[in-house]
Chain A
Amino acid sequence: MERSIRQMIKDKKEKQKTRLNFMEKLVPGLLLLCAILSVLTTLGIVFTLIVETFTFFNRVSIIEFFTNKDWYPFFEGDPDYGIWPLISGTLMITGIAMLVAIPFGLAAAIYLSEYATDRVRRFIKPILEVLAGIPTIVYGFFALTFVTPVLQNVIPSLPVFNALSPGIVVGIMIIPMVASLSEDAMSSVPNAIREGALGLGATRFEVAVKVVLPAALSGIIASFVLAISRAIGETMIVTVAGGATPKLTMDVTESIQTMTSYIVQVSLGDAGFGTTIYYSIYAVGMTLFLFTLIMNLIAQYISRRFREEY
């Protein structure tokens, strides 16, 4: 080499200097911009919902929204805008889903964390992942074309659109979420605690229920709350199989409508921009957003407030 490396680096340095300095200043700014975009998304959601909901409440009084017990926005002349039927439909679906997801999800979590050998775990976890990765429209199809007919064999009076079938399928969809989050919580209970109990002669079951479950309780409950949030926001399954008849009912065999499926119904229809019906989806969306936000905040609070220190 004619020149030493040191000299070459020195020569290049002058040339590189401006460019490098520029990059060092520019890049953090660009990256910050990316990070701020996620904040803007949240702001965008909140702002959109608030502004359009406000427009809606200029046309329909907020008192009617919360006191009227009927939701018939498509009635010519005298439409009813009472949110409760949609909320009850949503909560009914969520309730059924939880009745499915909690026992099965928790049992799977206990099995995976306390009983399963490594090999079994390596077989079952991917299955749960696949189940979690199936698009919701596919679950909707499954609810309508398989679960509903099967249920009709048991309950002959069951109509094609009902709350029961999509509720069960939403529950199935959520099982992997409950199972994996609960299992995480249970696996983080240190083995020393388990061994302590096993050493005293406790059976696996006793260890799981009397030692591990209480220790991991906050994580498990947080997983339930997140699952509730997920069920509330679920759209396609209920749209396909739940029907479009908003009503205040406790009968799971009836056709209902959820907040999400109402929003879809409007977006599929011909309610034009600027109509009251158009703005109503924002009011419903706002309600939905608040429900899920509160659930998420509760879950975060639980898992932070009651985080076990080992």
Chain B
Amino acid sequence: MQLIDQAKVKKNMQSRLTKNNILKGVFFGATLFALVVLVILLYRIFTQGIGYLDLQFFQNFASRFPEKAGIKAAFFGSLWVMAVIAPVSLIIGVGTAIYLEEYAKKNRFTTFIQLNISNLAGVPSIVFGLLGLTVFVRMLEMGRSVLAGGLTMSLLILPIIVVAAQEAIRSVPKELREASFAMGATKWQTIRRVVLPASIPGILTGGILALSRAIGETAPLLMIGALTFVAYLPENLLSGFTVMPIQIFNWTSRPQTEFHDVAAAGIIVLLVMLLIMNSIAVLIRNKFSKRL
């Protein structure tokens, strides 16, 4: 007796194959959906914003009149905040990563720090805003300043940088460390002269990606009270400021549709800046990926 009815298998086969092909198409279509959305989004923003994108747009401050509105204060505000975030988050983030990878013993405290970092990465950005508002703006009396904003954002992107730097440090082969120790180098000498140089491309790539996350963040800076109508450039770390996403938010929230086009122009500037930063990150990754 035959356990398997070959005729039946054959009959079923055709419908199974058809099903496979149809669903392959469905899955592919669903994947393409992301691409379609991206294209529509970019197309819309580009066509809306391009009309307002001229030299004046960069030279003007915020204004009640759409045709006079510019992004100058927000653009430089973003740069100022970046100038705080980059060193603070990189130093603390890389320091944490070195500690965890090179010095920390495998004990409960280390596991706790590691767990804490991964949980911190899941905290909504607006909660970081509440922290910044309470600790930096009020308790430490920094006011609604570039410094308070930069420090808040540094804490926000810290987990991203720590994780990226840990991965980069972990990928340095242990043979290199051994070679250094065998020459009589101390631990710190080995880290500074061998481990860090070898992991710097990974750290930089992760760092730039984290910064590009920071440059697009709006909510935490709204919380600490970055201003929405600024007609001056920050002069020092304690100046009031605005940043590009907040300026865009401000324009978007206005009822006049002309301001929506101005917002689109602002978005183009923001996206181009992100594009540049990401390209640099990719370049660094490609340039150094062959080395190790």
Contact = CB atoms under 8 A, between A and B. Distances in A.
A115 B133 CA distance: 48
A288 B31 contact: no
A23 B129 CA distance: 36
Contact of A137 (B27, B223, B252, B278): B252
Interface stretch (B35-43, B50-58, B79-87, B173-181): B35-43
Contact of B124 (A34, A39, A107, A289): A289
Contacts of B38: 127, 130-131
Contacts of B187: 24
B30 A146 contact: no
B199 interface: no
Contacts of A263: 126, 129-130, 223
B216 A135 contact: yes
Q: Which of B99, B117, B130 gathers most chain A CB within 10 Å?
A: B130
B28 interface: yes
Contact of A31 (B98, B216, B245): B98
Interface residues of A, number: 82
B34 A145 contact: no
* Among all A-B residue pairs, the 6 with the closest Cβ atoms: A233-B124, A135-B216, A34-B95, A107-B30, A31-B99, A111-B27
Interface string B44-68: 1100100000000000000000000
A52 B218 CA distance: 23
Contact of A38 (B31, B37, B116, B133): B116
A300 B91 CA distance: 28
Dominant secondary structure of chain A at its interface with chain B: helix
Interface stretch (B154-162, B231-239, B283-291): B154-162
A135 B211 CA distance: 12
A140 B252 contact: yes
Interface stretch (A65-73, A186-194, A200-208, A245-253): A200-208
A206 B21 CA distance: 11
B125 interface: yes
A293 B33 CA distance: 31
Interface of B: 16-17, 19-20, 23-24, 26-28, 30-31, 33-35, 37-38, 40-41, 44-45, 48, 91-93, 95-96, 98-100, 103-104, 112-113, 116-120, 122-131, 133-135, 138, 155, 158-159, 162, 186-189, 209, 212-213, 215-219, 222-223, 225, 228, 245, 248-249, 252-253, 260, 263-264, 267, 270-271, 274, 278
Contacts of A264: 126, 219, 222-223
Nearest to A37: B92
A41 B155 contact: yes
B217 A108 contact: no
A146 B162 contact: no
Interface string A96-107: 000000011001
A135 B217 contact: yes
26 contacts: A24-B187, A28-B99, A31-B103, A33-B95, A37-B158, A42-B119, A104-B30, A104-B34, A107-B27, A107-B31, A108-B30, A108-B31, A111-B27, A124-B31, A128-B34, A134-B271, A146-B44, A203-B19, A229-B122, A233-B125, A235-B124, A267-B223, A285-B126, A288-B126, A292-B124, A300-B118
